[in-house]
Structure 1
């Protein structure tokens, strides 16, 4: 690999941007395709398919074999609320290699005893997301689980502004209707607010915290596969 290609690849990785290295198997020639450039690339369909799956592999084009090395930023899951659902969700997400951060200013809930081996941030979401927690981006999923608008709303607003690929919030349809009113008053459009999955999780008839956690994680995986982020 040429040094300039390696530097460009490393720069995309450091900036948490997706890229695909195209290698001609026959002569070893390589070129880097950044995610914003995929639509205009002659291999757009194949590149998009591999980016969506997150998997590298061989393709054939113009009678030549090309190996597509996919580099996708690791998915981060930011959970708002150190609640029972979060306790079940964190180890499930870790088993899928998702980097989990739990944010909750309520220090009675956000304790290492309740969340062992979890990145736990006992701050209000606006302070956490402006400080110790890395900035949200389109390769982040955010699940707001406190059912408290003072805690959930600032996190949801931050996730919408950052373009997170998944934004979900716990609560009934009635609760979400009031949430929509608040976010509309805060200046978010109908389309932006429509990105929030609420009630959160796939409809599997979940009743227990563990079942709800499973439904949330399944919805996150489905959203990632559809959009190329997980």
Structure 2
């Protein structure tokens, strides 16, 4: 297999196809009740029975694999429906009588074409927002991106259109977070960021602050923020948080973030501190609309006191901004 990231399910399926094993992609397209995996979840199956990813808590994977192997051999996409009664639901993982529908597509011409899958994989690798659109009545397929499906991209929401047969699978690039300043708040914030699915990086030119001892296992950059962020591909799936209180470190990061399409920019400091920050930015030529993008003081006002509580308020505000816009 090529050097594919372990959770890049479409890329894994493409690898298996290229290796001559045959491959299929299974995608959760609809759920009812307490389904264990959300719509859009994927499972890759090779023609040799290898699997990657999941479409349930393990309760229906076996049946999906059987259908996928048949699809790889014979061709033909299909939609499977699994449902259980309340009596048996808990035992197999579909609690509360949950049901799921799973779309199985073999990777082959006439079904999910290798060329289209390669375009999807290439777009994902380039951190592009891409929607995989399937008409499940006539099994036509295409890719599209913003500005189409803007709400779905923002909410990470795959699903059927109102016509009930056009399925849109949203492929967003992984979330990223840039934290500037190896201060106490950054310690729990970096952990929370990883737990909520962010690829987090900590930037601080002061190596004694951003040290492996204080941040074990974290990605640490000791360049000045503007230099480090220039190489970090800031985009609409990136959040930036500045925490140092030191204008020499925070301001270059803020200026860089304001010049990018980040979805969140939060800056630690009191209202008075922020007023001084605004004055410095105005002197640099930033206008009122640009400065209004800054969340300051950072975090939701939930009465936080400790560094961990402040980190919670920051993660809450970032989540609110991501999901509600």
Report the 3-state secondary structure (helix = DSSP H, G, I; strand = E; otherwise coil) of the residue aligned with 1:30: strand
**Residue correspondence of structure 1 range 164-203 to structure 2 within 5 A:** 164-203=262-301
Which is higher, the Rg of structure 1 or of structure 2? Answer: 2
Cα contact 1:143–1:167 (8 A) shared by 2:
yes
Alpha-carbon distance in structure 2 between the residues aligned to 1:142 and 1:26: 43
Out of 316, 319, 322, the position equivalent to 1:218 is 316
Matched residues, number? 214
Alpha-carbon distance in structure 1 between the residues aligned to 2:123 and 2:285: 32
Cα contact 1:176–1:199 (8 A) shared by 2:
yes
**Residue aligning to 1:57:** 159
Shift of 1:33: 1.4
Alpha-carbon distance in structure 2 between the residues aligned to 1:160 and 1:3: 39
Higher helix share: 1
Out of 233, 236, 239, the position equivalent to 1:135 is 233
Give yes or no for the alignment of 1:158 onto 2:252: no
Deviations 1:85-143 (A, max 9, x none): 00011111111111110000111111001101111112211222234xx2211211000
Runs of 4+ more than 6 Å apart? none
TM-score normalised by L of structure 2: 0.63
Cα contact 2:155–2:322 (8 A) shared by 1:
no
Out of 296, 302, 309, the position equivalent to 1:204 is 302
Deviations 1:126-162 (A, max 9, x none): 222234xx22112110000001000000001111101
Higher strand share: 2
Alpha-carbon distance in structure 2 between the residues aligned to 1:77 and 1:35: 22
Unaligned 5+ runs, structure 2 = 1-111
Cα contact 1:58–1:65 (8 A) shared by 2:
yes
Q: 1:183 to 1:114 in 2, by over 3 A?
A: same
Report the 3-state secondary structure (helix = DSSP H, G, I; strand = E; otherwise coil) of the residue aligned with 2:304: coil
Report the 3-state secondary structure (helix = DSSP H, G, I; strand = E; otherwise coil) of the residue aligned with 1:23: strand
Shift of 1:8: 3.0
**Residue correspondence of structure 1 range 28-67 to structure 2 within 5 A:** 28-36=139-147, 38=148, 47-61=149-163, 65-67=165-167
Higher relative contact order at CA 8 Å, sep ≥6: structure 1 or structure 2? 1
Q: Compute the RMSD of aligned alpha carbons.
A: 1.4
TM-score normalised by L of structure 1: 0.88
Alpha-carbon distance in structure 1 between the residues aligned to 2:135 and 2:162: 10
